[in-house]
Chains A and B, each alone.
Chain A
Amino acid sequence: MNKPVDEKAALRLSPDGAAKVEALIAQYPTKASALMPCIWVIMDEVGHVSEAGVDFLTEKLELTRARVHEVLSFYTMYRTEPQAEYTLQVCHNISCHIMGARPIIAHLEKRLGIRLGETTPDGKFAIEGVECLGACGLGPCLQLGKHLYEHLTPQKTDDLLDSLRKGVVPRADTERDKPSGGEIS
């Protein structure tokens, strides 16, 4: 999911990404207001916003470094360090907790050999606890990038890991437009 990045080099976006940035600057009423979507372009392509990314944003949007770093540090989903290939974010808020989020977390910890908040030594998997993902009646739930898996059970969790180990991100129930097949149940 994330490509390795040379931290010292300037940010290199794909032509598509660069075009997206220009389009956003044209679309939003002020340059500063385009900051969040521009950060997302970098997040989607690179997986994190390095200092090179900050250079890019300060220059393109005419913002101070302080301002950009404030925004980067304020939001949970923006990251400034390279991330694991698969970051498994399990909701540990009240409804999912009642429905069994902790056992799911414990199950993941056992399967991956790491604790909550850690990354596997090979950099492939990380487990994070996150706040309410808006799937409360469908929990316990887990988010993997743009994929939301609901109604988790230990079995479903194992199936998810197996699929990811093969490099396949399974279709989630919320992805109704994707052709079915390869779901985890």
Chain B
Amino acid sequence: MAKLTIDGKEIEVPDGTSLFDACRDARGEALPHFCYHPDLSIAGVCRLCQVEVEGMPKLTIACNTGVRDGMVVHTRNERVTKASTQILEMHLINHPVDCPICDQAGECGLQNQYMNHGLYESKVEMDDKVNKAKAQVIGPHVILDKERCVLCTRCVRFCDEVTGTGEMGIFNRGNRAEIGTAPGVELDNNYSMNTVDICPVGALTGRDFRFQKRVWMLKAATSICPGCATGCNIRIDHEAGRIYRLKPRFNPEVNGRWMCDKGRITYKAVHEDSRLGDPKVAGQPGNWAAVPGAVADLGAKDGFGLIIASPHQSLEEMYLLKTLAGTAPVHGGLTGADLGDKDKLLLDADRTPNRKGLGLLGIEQGEGAALAAVIKSAAGPILIHGGDPAADPAVAEALSGRDIVYIGTHENATAGLAAVVLPGAMWAEKTGIFVNRDGRLQEFRQGVARHGSAREDWRILAELMSVGGLEDAPGSLKAARTGLTPAIGSDTDLNKIPERGFVPGGEVR
């Protein structure tokens, strides 16, 4: 351990800690910085995190300095403040004052630093700036403004060190230096939008988000990406019922600070025109009041003959399906559906968020032919919750002519075959638990209001339980979770899931 004094405060940190981290611990906030990033190599080029270490004649960059026992450090004295103010000024002199049209406004490193240093008469007004290319599309998801770039090299290091794809570079010398991709090269790896996250200014911005919404109007909800079994932790940025973008949340156990581009655009499905907004009975739009009667007419008062779940749904919903099924079989849907290629970083071959949840509750999946056989051997009405099993021809053939209640979110083949279609909530519109590929239970929380008159799935299932005469229909999600906890053999109260999720019985890889 090393004992050091930072701004008069004594702290103790493990040997090998960087002075940058020690300063953050002592100060409660990080030193000013652009180029430092915990997941990238040290560049030491922005020069903002310089501090005074007694005994060293020059200021030193904290990011490249290790702590030593007995160090005395000053981060807010006149010498340090003057230096960082001057360096910030250097960053500004060629910076275009694009704030009124720059997406980064409100979450911009330069703006934030400027406010911190009280630079109200900066030289940013200077005419005769160095001009570079602006609004340059460099890939399917990213657009580049070379003038705004502060040359922190984060994007270059990201493409070299994290994705190993090396698309980005910094060309030319001196103040003609500019970032970009090499001629003929596009920034089109599956993690390109992380460069937008790590760019401290508006040089790299997302094409999808461009000019859509001012960031200070956005509200945030914590969620889990539904795109694959990795379960990257994400944040839904939304306003007035619309989602504008997804951002990764830091979870060292799952996704670190990254998420993939495919996951980023999963929010678009929430606002698609094919969303189911109202219940439908026999193809006719109806209302929820008519639903219990319609379901009863199909014979569900005596229970369903078969329930088909899907790995897209939450753990609580799967549990309620089992309760609802009683002695009837519960099938997990198609093993071969929603699969793709795995990549070297985060993207899993399994493109569903909760297949592990099915396993945890003992719900088995099967191939199309096997599921078709199960359908044929089950008598009575069938409840299908989520997914689109009728996309498989064998299953569609087995389902045709049967009495089907379908809880779904979009028009699809299965909805087309169902007598009763009930609009459920998408992942961003409800709260629940997904179990990722490593068996980690993670909670996702509602971000936006539900589409049309769609209802939370647990509530729909509770209603179906009432129709079926079951007495223990839960009155709340909390109640549903209370029943779920022992069902998966967990000690942890599922209403108090840790922020980074947990694996029942310890870590499993």
Q: Which residues of A contact B (CB under 8 A)?
A: 51, 54, 64-70, 73-74
Instruction: Give per-residue flags for B163-202: 1 if the beta carbon is below 8 A from chain A beta carbons, else 0.
Output: 0001111111100000001111100000000000000000
For A65, give the chain B residue with the smallest CB separation.
B182
C-alpha spacing A55/B170, complex, angstroms: 19
B172 touches A67 (CB 8 A): no
Residues of A within 8 A of B183 (CB): 51, 54, 65, 69
C-alpha spacing A74/B167, complex, angstroms: 17
User: A73-B172, A74-B173 given as contacts; is B184 within 8 A of A51 (CB)?
Assistant: yes
A66 touches B168 (CB 8 A): yes
In the assembled complex, the CB of A35 is this many whole angstroms from the nearest CB of chain B, namely 14
B173 touches A69 (CB 8 A): no
For A64, give the chain B residue with the smallest CB separation.
B166
- Chain B contributes a number of interface residues (CB within 8 A of A) equal to 15
B182 touches A66 (CB 8 A): yes
Known: A66-B156, A66-B159, A73-B171. 7 other contacts (CB 8 A): A51-B184, A64-B182, A64-B185, A65-B182, A66-B166, A66-B181, A69-B182
In the assembled complex, the CB of B163 is this many whole angstroms from the nearest CB of chain A, namely 12
A74 touches B185 (CB 8 A): no
A66 touches B184 (CB 8 A): no
Q: Which residues of B contact A (CB under 8 A)?
A: 156, 159, 166-173, 181-185
In the assembled complex, the CB of A87 is this many whole angstroms from the nearest CB of chain B, namely 19
A-B contact list, 26 entries, CB within 8 Å: A51-B183, A51-B184, A64-B167, A64-B169, A64-B182, A64-B185, A65-B184, A66-B156, A66-B159, A66-B167, A66-B168, A66-B169, A66-B181, A66-B182, A66-B185, A67-B166, A67-B169, A69-B171, A69-B182, A70-B169, A70-B171, A73-B171, A73-B172, A74-B171, A74-B172, A74-B173
Residues of B within 8 A of A74 (CB): 171-173
Residues of A within 8 A of B170 (CB): 70
Residues of B within 8 A of A66 (CB): 156, 159, 166-169, 181-182, 185
6 tightest Cβ-Cβ pairs between the two chains A and B: A66-B169, A65-B182, A64-B166, A73-B171, A69-B182, A70-B169
A65 touches B185 (CB 8 A): yes
- Say what secondary structure dominates the interface of chain A: helix
Residues of B within 8 A of A73 (CB): 171-173
C-alpha spacing A51/B184, complex, angstroms: 9
Residues of B within 8 A of A64 (CB): 166-167, 169, 182, 185
In the assembled complex, the CB of A10 is this many whole angstroms from the nearest CB of chain B, namely 15
In the assembled complex, the CB of A185 is this many whole angstroms from the nearest CB of chain B, namely 37
For B173, give the chain A residue with the smallest CB separation.
A74
C-alpha spacing A86/B122, complex, angstroms: 46
C-alpha spacing A70/B185, complex, angstroms: 13
Residues of B within 8 A of A67 (CB): 166, 169
Residues of B within 8 A of A51 (CB): 183-184
C-alpha spacing A73/B159, complex, angstroms: 20
C-alpha spacing A70/B166, complex, angstroms: 12
C-alpha spacing A131/B481, complex, angstroms: 74
Residues of A within 8 A of B159 (CB): 66
* A64, A66, A74 interface centre (most CB from chain B within 10 Å): A66
Residues of A within 8 A of B167 (CB): 64, 66
* B156, B167, B168, B171 interface centre (most CB from chain A within 10 Å): B171
C-alpha spacing A54/B182, complex, angstroms: 10
Residues of B within 8 A of A70 (CB): 169-171
In the assembled complex, the CB of A117 is this many whole angstroms from the nearest CB of chain B, namely 15
B172 touches A68 (CB 8 A): no
Residues of A within 8 A of B181 (CB): 66
In the assembled complex, the CB of A80 is this many whole angstroms from the nearest CB of chain B, namely 9
In the assembled complex, the CB of B494 is this many whole angstroms from the nearest CB of chain A, namely 47
In the assembled complex, the CB of B68 is this many whole angstroms from the nearest CB of chain A, namely 34
C-alpha spacing A149/B170, complex, angstroms: 35
C-alpha spacing A66/B178, complex, angstroms: 12
Residues of A within 8 A of B166 (CB): 64, 66-67
Residues of A within 8 A of B172 (CB): 73-74
C-alpha spacing A11/B45, complex, angstroms: 37
Residues of B within 8 A of A65 (CB): 182-185
C-alpha spacing A51/B170, complex, angstroms: 18
Residues of B within 8 A of A68 (CB): 182
In the assembled complex, the CB of B310 is this many whole angstroms from the nearest CB of chain A, namely 42
C-alpha spacing A166/B259, complex, angstroms: 65
C-alpha spacing A70/B182, complex, angstroms: 8
In the assembled complex, the CB of B454 is this many whole angstroms from the nearest CB of chain A, namely 47
C-alpha spacing A69/B181, complex, angstroms: 9
C-alpha spacing A65/B182, complex, angstroms: 6
C-alpha spacing A65/B159, complex, angstroms: 13
For A68, give the chain B residue with the smallest CB separation.
B182
For A58, give the chain B residue with the smallest CB separation.
B182
C-alpha spacing A65/B166, complex, angstroms: 8
C-alpha spacing A64/B181, complex, angstroms: 11
For B168, give the chain A residue with the smallest CB separation.
A66
C-alpha spacing A65/B156, complex, angstroms: 13
C-alpha spacing A69/B170, complex, angstroms: 9
Residues of A within 8 A of B168 (CB): 66
In the assembled complex, the CB of B202 is this many whole angstroms from the nearest CB of chain A, namely 22
C-alpha spacing A70/B183, complex, angstroms: 11
C-alpha spacing A64/B171, complex, angstroms: 14
In the assembled complex, the CB of A12 is this many whole angstroms from the nearest CB of chain B, namely 20
In the assembled complex, the CB of A84 is this many whole angstroms from the nearest CB of chain B, namely 21
C-alpha spacing A67/B160, complex, angstroms: 10
In the assembled complex, the CB of A67 is this many whole angstroms from the nearest CB of chain B, namely 7
C-alpha spacing A66/B166, complex, angstroms: 7
For B172, give the chain A residue with the smallest CB separation.
A73
In the assembled complex, the CB of A63 is this many whole angstroms from the nearest CB of chain B, namely 9
C-alpha spacing A73/B176, complex, angstroms: 10
In the assembled complex, the CB of A57 is this many whole angstroms from the nearest CB of chain B, namely 12
C-alpha spacing A70/B172, complex, angstroms: 7
C-alpha spacing A73/B185, complex, angstroms: 16
